Amino acid sequence: MTKKVLVLPGDGIGPEIVGQATRVLDALIENHGLDVTYESALVGGSSYDAHETPLTDEVLAQAKDADAILLGAVGGPKWEQYDISVRPEKALLKLRSELELFGNLRPAILYKQLADASSLKPELVSDLDVLIVRELTGGIYFGQPRGIRTLENGERQGFNTYVYSESEVERIAHVAFKAAMLRDKRVCSVDKANVLEATELWREVMERVSKEYPEVELTHMYVDNAAMQLVRAPKQFDVMVTGNMFGDILSDCAAMLTGSIGMLPSASLDANGKGMYEPIHGSAPDIAGQNKANPLATILSVSMLLRHSFGEGALADKIDQAVSTVLDQGYRTADIHTEGDTLVSTTEMGDAVLKALA
């Protein structure tokens, strides 16, 4: 059956980078038998300008109806003056919660051609390919009770609750094991089970779910050691799975190992594999409208979409290979350009990827 994608370009560089990603989708539909249709809609600041809300009920309904969503980025200084309830970023939070997108996939991939961009030695990070699976809708960021209270002695005390139910751990475990089945079949679960009971249960549930994936090797690591290992020897990891707060920190740390924010895609998945796919970077207002932005993170988001929501691993591989080819050919947008490379615009990078796909 034909699959439906909702495309939400958003603000700033969003329309420019998504424009190149939909050219890739068009090429796969026209020349490689991909059975997909897509439609576009406004989100974020551009939606606010047209409808005085960053996410209309109609677009939310379209998102619920779609099989997957491709998003550019939202936000920019123009909308910062508005009340927080109608800021562009609210649209993303609402989409994530309404669609129950609890499983955040953040790959940290460093193409060998860009190994110099990392702050680590090239031999430590060249060809790095780690996938961080972060639980996105639970844990200490959402746990109750929370707040700031005044104690009997008059001192104020801040408090939050680190809480995970078995079902929440089970569903993120399945996301991690399924992702590992598409990769090197190794999952490292990151916790603090020596100190936090909540993560003692996390570890127990991870072990239980792993029995359903006998081909996948499960190991456990304390979060402090995981942070250390990520900067010491990051290539030891295949899939890392962890809770909301640890994942927040480790995924940014892993992304920075690659040194190139314009290269990294991400996915947020529900229990049925439906997902919202987007680059990890923002709307880059400083370069918006200049045809300078790197579209590769968004093009790689299409690859993730095909792999994780549509089961089209071979077509996803084709996109990944095309991106690697254009890097081999020396094409670089300004953010990843170094002397001796060929400096290209957003659209020229799109042209090069399409040529490599063909």
Q: By Cβ distance, which residue is nearest to ligand NAD?
A: 282
CB under 6 A: which stretch of 120-128, 287-295, 322-330, 350-358 binds ligand NAD?
287-295
Indicate the SS3 state at residue 187.
Answer: strand
Q: Which of 3, 48, 248, 274 is catalytic?
A: 248
Block residue for tokens 């009971």: 197
129 carries a ligand binding annotation: no
Residue 248 is among the residues annotated as catalytic for this protein: yes
Nearer to ligand NAD, 297 or 306 (CB): 297
Structure tokens at 113: 């051609």
Q: Are 76 and 283 in contact (CB under 8 A)?
A: yes
CB under 6 A: which stretch of 19-27, 180-188, 224-232, 276-284 binds ligand NAD?
276-284
List Cα–Cα distances, 358 to 105, 296, 325, in angstroms. 28, 17, 12
| Residues paired with 104 in a beta bridge | 134, 268
Residue 211 is among the residues annotated as catalytic for this protein: no
Output the smallest distance, CB 17 to ligand NAD, in A.
6
Does residue 54 touch ligand NAD according to CB under 6 A?
no
Rounded to 5°, angle at Cα 270 from 267 and 272: 115
Pairing of strands 103-109, 129-135: antiparallel
CB under 6 A: which stretch of 141-149, 177-185, 201-209, 282-290 binds ligand NAD?
282-290
Question: Across 34-172, where does the E strand assignment appear?
Answer: 36-40, 68-73, 103-109, 129-135, 147-150, 156-159
Nearer to ligand NAD, 119 or 225 (CB): 119
Neighbours of 196 (CB within 10 A): 16
Does residue 210 touch ligand NAD according to CB under 6 A?
no
Residue 90 is among the residues annotated as catalytic for this protein: no
Structure tokens at 171: 């569903």
Q: Which of 141, 185, 222, 320 is catalytic?
A: 141
Rounded to 5°, angle at Cα 48 from 43 and 54: 45
Block residue for tokens 């207002």: 285
- 293, 301, 231: which is closest to 264 by C-alpha? 301
Given 70, 73, 114, 187, the residue binding ligand NAD (CB under 6 A): 73
86 carries a ligand binding annotation: yes
Nearer to ligand NAD, 301 or 309 (CB): 301
Q: Are 108 and 258 in contact (CB under 8 A)?
A: yes
Query: What is the pattern of x (binds ligand NAD, CB under 6 A) and - over residues 14-53?
Result: ---x------------------------------------
Distance CA 253, CA 226 (A): 11
Does residue 89 touch ligand NAD according to CB under 6 A?
yes
Does residue 261 touch ligand NAD according to CB under 6 A?
yes
Does residue 117 touch ligand NAD according to CB under 6 A?
no
The annotation places the binding site for substrate at 96, 106, 134, 224
Footprint of ligand NAD on this chain (CB under 6 A)? 13, 17, 73-76, 89, 92, 261-262, 278, 281-287, 293-294, 297, 335
What are the residue numbers of the active site? Answer: 141, 192, 224, 248, 252
